[in-house]
Chains A and B, each alone.
Chain A
Amino acid sequence: MAENLAQQRRRALRQMCEASGVRRLVVYGNAWTCDYLRYATDFAPLEGHALAMLDDSGVRLMLEVRDELERARVEVPDISSEWAPDFHEQARAMIASSTAQCAYAPGNAMPRGLAISLSGSVDFSALMQSLLMNKLEGEIEQVRRAAGLADEGYEIFKHAVREGRREYEVVADVEAFFRSRGCPDNFMIMASGGREVRAMHPPGARQLQRGDMVTTELTPCVSGYYAQICRTLTIGPASREQQRAFDTHLQALEAGLSAIRPGVTADLVATFQNDVFRSCGLGEYTTSQYTRVRGHGLGLYVDSAPAILEGNSMVFQDGMTVIVHPNGYHPEAGYLVLGDALVVRQGGNEILTQTPRQLFSV
């Protein structure tokens, strides 16, 4: 019988453990940091702590919230799951139950209650991150499907944005659409207004007005894999300033897309984008006061490595899935977003999101 994607991932992880001499791997997750755990178990927690232990005898999954145990038994029936109301104590006991060489991931998210029992173990985070970044073809296909859904979601967003509606009502329409398509999760933030807008955020009660610039990033999930699209629209015709700001962002996006290929660094891709702003006298707006990153990896998490930032020497490789997005503040128009998801390919990148790169007006 052919392996499913979860089985393929677990085999890849097992091979990496064997090659590293690791007999036992402890993987932590919660609703925020879920990608390592989903890779290892195919389970993404929604509430509380979760910890998996993988060794020769199989996979054990420990869950802090009882409601999550019920879900795990249905969603990942091949894994032995248990409820751990005294999570840290029970997880420490599980970790101490074997003397085999132990490794853990992800180190930066590990709670102190578990970290103290992992001292002396191997931090497996970097190796596991390489599995998360360098995708199997089956994983790329899921990101491709998620990108198609992101395009459809943006069409819904465009129809949902109307003068007088509140931001959270727009989000409700988009989320309902994704649920109707069997998509259980979507990361979405937005903003509306003018030059005063400095960033996107969860929706507020602000009522949309004529002349607003409305930004969003949609990040739907298919089989655990996220793809993202960033677009901006105006309510009513775009002003000259809004169009000029958009044109600069479009130029920056195209510069980033032209730079990204296997073998180049995240630093270079960010620099190509930032140079466009610098050449327009907008260099000040490339700092963390006005923007965050110029793109990032996509996969089992909405914002994975590598972060596309100046100074990041991480090298892109064939098969990585990322978004390039020169999102940031423009002094004439406010916060503006534009970005497309793609697969980095040796023979030419595959752009996954197909929504036209234009400043839409509704």
Chain B
Amino acid sequence: MRRGWMDWDPAEVPEDVMRDRIALLAAACCDLDVDALLYYTSFPRPAQVSALTHFVPFWSQALLVVTKSGSSMLAMATTGRTVQWIKRVSLVDEVIVGTEIGASAGQWLYAQTQARRVAIASPDDLPQSAYEGLCRALPGAAFVETGSWWQEFEERFGPTPYVSRTAMEIAESALALVCSVVWRDANALVAALDGHCRAHGAEEVSVKVAPDLLRDPTPYRVEGLLNLASNFGVRITLAYKGSWLRSGSSFVSDGQTTVEHPGCVDALRALRASALCTRNISSLVESIQVASGARVPDWNVEGRRGGLPLATLNTCDIALCDVAPSFASFSARIEPSGTPLIFSTAL
């Protein structure tokens, strides 16, 4: 559940940017020969609607309708008392509340346009109950999928430079805390990083820890009390105003001081320098190998896809695309000298 700062500041995300995106979709309705486009959102799948309206449900689910005339409506599964808040934190022409989001969206569409042909982005992700409500409210309408068509817009509808830069700054300043003292228990470390990110405006943060890299380099969510070994890894997943990233590194402590592991410092430096010249993912991986001399047995490039803010785009297992989009997150496990290390960064 989202519980960090949620607000809309036109200085960070200008109104024109959002209105232009809706206008582009309205024009696309004509190209696709549909009366309207539908986008589903819930807090696990917020990316599409967030990119179009700045709205992220902190709770529950919603359907965004964009008509070919350029009007937008959000059908949100909540009660009327939250409408004021929704309008304050997002840019949408109309908000309708009620438990049946499919029926609400369908009835509104019928009243507005008597829609006969409606496109749904990622219809497989839509709850079946919402789909059935939509079909009941729009009998005889044809529903078409827009998944592949939407992908063209994903790169163009990314976070604004201010927002992505702020997300990165929050994550970097949080990671700097790791070396500020010697952490013996993972809970205190997670608390410090979580609190720091939220106090600096993060909309959401999740801190995972690999408490003993020599035993297992897998980062996981700390539940209960946990100590740190001398070699440990941290991975922060953070959202700021709809912009998501993963950031992290590996650290070593001698009981007096904590430092970022030199192997990670070298690898991250090489990766970031390489990313200034190329977005080709194979080249990025190669740059790490060359700089650190390390094996890279596991890596994962993530970014927005469909409703997911961080979906795998390419990995050591499966190549889904060759080029890292802007503000993709790159995570890797490297083995420079037998010790497995982990790191993550936004590129």
Task: Tell me the A residues contacting B by CB distance below 8 Å.
Answer: 30-32, 45-49, 64-67, 70-71, 73-75, 83, 85, 88, 107-113, 115-116, 167-169, 171-173, 175-189, 198-199, 201-205, 223, 288-292, 302, 329, 335
CA separation between A85 and B301, bound complex, in Å? Answer: 13
Q: Which of B103-111, B219-227, B281-289 contacts A (4 or more CB under 8 A)?
A: B219-227
A309 to B211, CA, bound (A): 45
Contact at A31–B220, with CB atoms within 8 Å? no
- Asked if B79 and A202 sit within 8 Å, CB to CB, the answer is no
Chain A nearest CB, measured from B281 CB (Å) = 15
- Residues on A with C-beta less than 8 A from B222 are 179, 182, 184
CA distance A187 to B3 in the complex (A): 7
Q: How far is B129's CA from A47's CA once the two chains are assembled, in angstroms?
A: 21
Q: Which residues of B contact A108 (CB under 8 A)?
A: 127, 129
Contacts of A201 on B, CB cut-off 8 Å? 6, 58, 82, 85
Residue in A71, A179, A199 whose Cβ sees the most chain B Cβ within 10 Å: A179
| Contact A67:B300 (CB < 8 A) given known A112-B131, A176-B195 | yes
CA distance A312 to B70 in the complex (A): 41
Given known contacts A70-B220, A198-B84, A205-B7, is B124 in contact with A85 (CB within 8 Å)? no
Interface stretch (choices B22-30, B158-166, B311-319): B311-319
Cross-chain contact A66 with B315 (CB below 8 angstroms): yes
- Complex CA gap A111/B84 in Å reads 29
List A contacts of B201 (CB < 8 A). Answer: 168
A168-B201, A199-B85 given as contacts; is B224 within 8 A of A32 (CB)?
Answer: no
**Chain A residue with the shortest CB-CB distance to B7:** A204
Tell me if B1 is interfacial: C-beta within 8 Å of chain A.
Answer: yes
A85 lies within 8 A of B320 (CB) = yes
Residue in A49, A73, A172 with the greatest tally of chain B CB atoms within 10 Å: A172
- What separation, in Å, do the CA atoms of A177 and B188 have in the docked complex? 9
| Cross-interface CB contact of A176 among B123, B192, B225, cutoff 8 Å | B192
How far does the alpha carbon of A289 sit from the alpha carbon of B192 in the complex, in Å?
39
The answer to whether the Cβ of B336 comes within 8 Å of any Cβ in the partner chain is no
Q: How far, in whole Å, are A269 and B124 apart by their CA atoms in the complex?
A: 39
Bound state CA distance, A89 and B31, in angstroms?
29
Q: Is the CB of A179 within 8 A of B194?
A: yes
Residues of chain B with a CB closer than 8 A to A289's CB? 79-81
Q: How far is the CB of A48 from chain B (nearest CB, A)?
A: 6
Q: How far is the CA of A64 from the CA of B122 in the complex (A)?
A: 14
Contact partner of B44 (CB less than 8 A), chosen from A31, A186, A188, A205, is A31
Q: Contacting B220 at CB < 8 Å: which of A32, A45, A74, A112?
A: A74
Bound Cα distance from A189 to B81, whole angstroms = 14
Least CB separation from B199: chain A residue:
A172
B126 interfacial contact with A, CB 8 Å: yes
Q: A85-B312, A201-B58 are in contact. Are A179 and B190 (CB under 8 A)?
A: yes
Q: What residues of B have a CB within 8 angstroms of the CB of A169 in the complex?
A: 199
Complex formed: what's the CA distance from A204 to B222 in Å? 27
CB–CB A292/B79 < 8 A: yes
User: In the bound complex, what is the Cα–Cα distance between A201 and B317 (angstroms)?
Assistant: 41
B44 touches A48 (CB 8 A): yes
Residue contact A189 to B3, C-beta cutoff 8 Å: yes
When distances are taken between beta carbons in the complex, the residues of chain B under 8 Å from A179 are: 187, 190-191, 194-195, 207, 222
B195 — nearest CB in chain A belongs to which residue?
A: A176
Question: Are A202 and B80 touching (Cβ within 8 A)?
Answer: no
Known A31-B44, A110-B128, A201-B82; further 8 A-B contacts with Cβ < 8 A: A30-B42, A46-B206, A107-B128, A176-B191, A188-B3, A189-B59, A202-B58, A335-B81
A292 to B80, CA, bound (A): 9
Q: Does B310 contact A (CB under 8 A)?
A: yes
Inter-chain contact B206/A203, CB cutoff 8 Å: no
B167 to chain A, nearest CB (A): 15
A107 proximity list for chain B (CB < 8 A): 128-129
B residues apposed to A, CB below 8 Å? 1-7, 42-45, 58-61, 79-82, 84-85, 89, 123-129, 131, 187-188, 190-192, 194-199, 201, 203, 206-208, 216, 218-226, 237, 246, 300, 302, 308, 310-312, 315, 317-318, 320, 331
A49 vs B44: C-alpha distance in the bound complex, in angstroms?
8
CA distance A85 to B317 in the complex (A): 11
Given A175-B195, A177-B191, A223-B223, also A204-B6 (CB < 8 A): yes
Closest to B128 in A: A115
Contact B124 A202 (CB under 8 A): no
Residues of B contacting A111 in the complex (Cβ-Cβ under 8 angstroms): 124-128
Q: Which 10 A-B pairs have the closest CB atoms?
A: A113-B124, A176-B195, A115-B128, A172-B198, A180-B191, A168-B5, A172-B199, A179-B191, A199-B81, A31-B44
Q: How far is the CA of A178 from the CA of B187 in the complex (A)?
A: 9
Least Cβ–Cβ distance between A85 and chain B, in angstroms: 6
27 residue pairs bridging A and B, Cβ less than 8 Å apart: A32-B1, A32-B44, A32-B59, A47-B308, A47-B310, A67-B302, A67-B331, A107-B128, A112-B125, A112-B126, A113-B123, A115-B128, A116-B128, A171-B198, A175-B3, A175-B198, A178-B191, A182-B226, A187-B3, A188-B3, A201-B82, A203-B3, A203-B6, A223-B224, A288-B81, A329-B81, A335-B81
Bound: A223/B310 CA distance, A: 26
In the complex, chain A residues whose CB is within 8 Å of the CB of B4? 168, 171-172, 202-203
**A46 adjacent to B221 (CB under 8 Å):** yes
Pair B311/A65 contact, Cβ less than 8 Å: yes
Asked whether A75 lies within 8 Å of B221 as measured between CB atoms, the reply is yes
Q: How far is the CB of A167 from chain B (nearest CB, A)?
A: 8
C-alpha gap A171/B84 in the complex (Å) = 21
Q: Which of B3, B207, B220 contacts A171, CB < 8 Å?
A: B3
CB distance from A172 to the nearest CB of B (A): 4
| A183-B222 Cα distance, complex, nearest whole Å | 8
Interface pair A290/B44, CB less than 8 Å apart:
no
Say whether, besides A179-B207, A202-B6, A112 and B82 are in contact (CB < 8 Å): no
Which residues of chain B are near A205, meaning CB under 8 Å? Answer: 5, 7
Smallest beta-carbon distance A234→chain B, Å: 21
How far does the Cβ of B95 sit from chain A's closest Cβ, in whole Å? Answer: 13
In the complex, what distance in Å separates the CA atom of A335 from the CA atom of B187? 34
Kindly identify which residue among B125, B129, B223, B331 contacts A184, using a CB–CB cutoff of 8 Å.
B223
Q: Which residues of B contact A116 (CB under 8 A)?
A: 128
Assess A74 versus B216: contact at CB under 8 Å? Given A113-B124, A175-B198. yes
